[in-house]
């Protein structure tokens, strides 16, 4: 990573992405393991998960991993994923009549952060996914005062998606790093997308290098 490991201690890190199905949960796992290897006690928080039938699949998987890595992390699934909805859609739609409370989310963040050195927060979808009419994922990053990791895909079209998301983060003065999840159009990425990305950003970071 570009920043020294001590930069992240006692902070929350918000894992966001250019869109859905880009690899936020995979990235969360990579960063949980990465910081644990560096000697930090890790924690995990997913404010909203949709498509939940019985238990949040992503949240439960990451909670189990977090407890393996940090024995002091005593949270339960309702602490880690406070808002759970059945419909696999943007939280604003999936929540129906439920109100997503920013105050509740910030209380949960503080509670979870008390049990770890670094709290990994996993977003839902991309930056402009709505939770309430005037509350978007990108707003949570500011409200949580989190450092940000943007996950971008390797598929055709990733240049546009990456630049648009970075523009949104810069417009909000959000400090971030970005990592490429090399999983889709993997064989063609070096020829189709990497030349521009390397010229534009000079250095690239890949999730699988963590």
Predicted confidence at residue 6, as pLDDT, reads 87
Predicted confidence at residue 2, as pLDDT, reads 86
In the predicted model, is pLDDT for residue 3 greater than 90? Answer: no
CA–CA distance, 148 with 176 (Å, rounded to integer): 4
Query: Annotated binding site for ATP, which residues?
Result: 21-26, 122-125
Q: What is the mean pLDDT of residues 4-21?
A: 93
Condensed to tens digits (0 to 9), the pLDDT of residues 28-63 reads 999 999 999 999 999 999 999 999 999 999 999 999
Report all structural domains of the chain as residue ranges with CATH numbers, in order of start: 5-209 (3.40.50.300)
In the predicted model, is pLDDT for residue 140 greater than 90? Answer: yes
Percent of the chain with pLDDT over 90: 94
Query: Annotated binding site, which residues?
Result: 21-26, 50, 61, 122-125
CA–CA distance, 188 with 193 (Å, rounded to integer): 8
Condensed to tens digits (0 to 9), the pLDDT of residues 67-101 reads 999 999 999 999 999 999 999 999 999 999 999 99
In the predicted model, is pLDDT for residue 4 greater than 90? Answer: no
Which candidate, 201, 61, 172, 57, places its Cα nearest to that of 120? 61
Catalytic residues: 46
In the predicted model, is pLDDT for residue 121 greater than 90? Answer: yes
Query: Annotated binding site for substrate, which residues?
Result: 50
């Amino acid at each position: 990573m570009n920043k020294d490991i001590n930069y992240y201690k006692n902070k929350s890190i918000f894992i966001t992405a250019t869109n859905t199905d880009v690899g936020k949960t995979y990235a969360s796992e990579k960063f949980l393991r990465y910081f644990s290897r560096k000697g930090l006690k890790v924690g995990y928080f997913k404010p909203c998960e949709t498509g939940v039938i019985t238990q949040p699949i992503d949240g439960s998987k990451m909670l189990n991993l977090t407890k393996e890595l940090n024995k002091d992390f005593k949270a339960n699934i309702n602490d880690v994923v406070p808002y759970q909805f059945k419909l696999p859609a943007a939280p604003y739609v999936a929540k129906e009549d439920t109100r997503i409370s920013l105050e509740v989310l910030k209380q949960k963040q503080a509670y979870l952060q008390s049990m770890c050195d670094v709290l990994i927060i996993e977003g839902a979808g991309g930056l402009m996914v709505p939770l309430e009419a005037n509350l978007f994922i990108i707003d949570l990053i500011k409200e949580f005062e989190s450092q940000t990791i943007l996950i971008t895909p390797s598929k055709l079209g990733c240049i546009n998606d990456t630049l648009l998301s970075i523009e949104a983060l810069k417009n909000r003065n959000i400090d971030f790093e970005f990592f490429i999840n090399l999983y889709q159009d993997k064989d063609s990425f070096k020829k189709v997308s990497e030349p521009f990305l390397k010229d534009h950003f000079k250095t690239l970071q890949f999730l699988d290098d963590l």
